[in-house]
Structure 1
């Protein structure tokens, strides 16, 4: 097993991060995040239907799915609120 120099590993990681940042912009990242939240909400809806039908094999997994969708929706709401606050702050700047 070869042990690499720490600066070489750090430089490689930095290069990978920069390549990822160059490949996607904020709009793409936000769009992917919204799509993920949407899929979480759909999965939670299916989990709720299973609970209502009584078709439950693993209740913990279903409840985890529902809580995950709730948390991701709250996070999306907070991101939206912060973006709106930033926009309003920019609009208040005197030119």
Structure 2
């Protein structure tokens, strides 16, 4: 049985490969984009939850799992938005404490 050796990958080579694969992604992730995506995610999940609640309340849907899943998604998206807001305020307060 013959064992072939493995080629060593340099970290620079790995970074170049990662840069080539990421060139198609022109979307910038600054704070404004991240925060607006979080807000739109809260709105979307809230609409989905309201729809599931309406369907369940009117008897059009008996699937309690989708209702619970929609409620969990809405809660998680709100929690994420609140966490982002808290971190932003924390960072702002830290910047204001810096003495120049």
Task: Tell me the TM-score normalised to structure 1 length.
Answer: 0.74
Q: Which runs of 5+ in 2 are unaligned?
A: 1-8
Q: Choose the corresponding residue for 1:59, options 37, 59, 64.
A: 64
In the TM superposition, residue 29 of structure 1 has moved relative to its aligned partner by 2.8
Do 2:38 and 2:77's aligned partners in 1 also have CA atoms closer than 8 Å? Answer: no
Task: Tell me the TM-score normalised to structure 2 length.
Answer: 0.71
Give 1 or 2 for the bigger CA radius of gyration: 2
Does the alignment pair 1:89 with 2:90? no
**Aligned equivalents of 2:97 and 2:73: distance in 1?**
36
In the TM superposition, residue 50 of structure 1 has moved relative to its aligned partner by 1.9
In the TM superposition, residue 48 of structure 1 has moved relative to its aligned partner by 1.5
Q: Which residue of 1 aligns with 2:3?
A: none
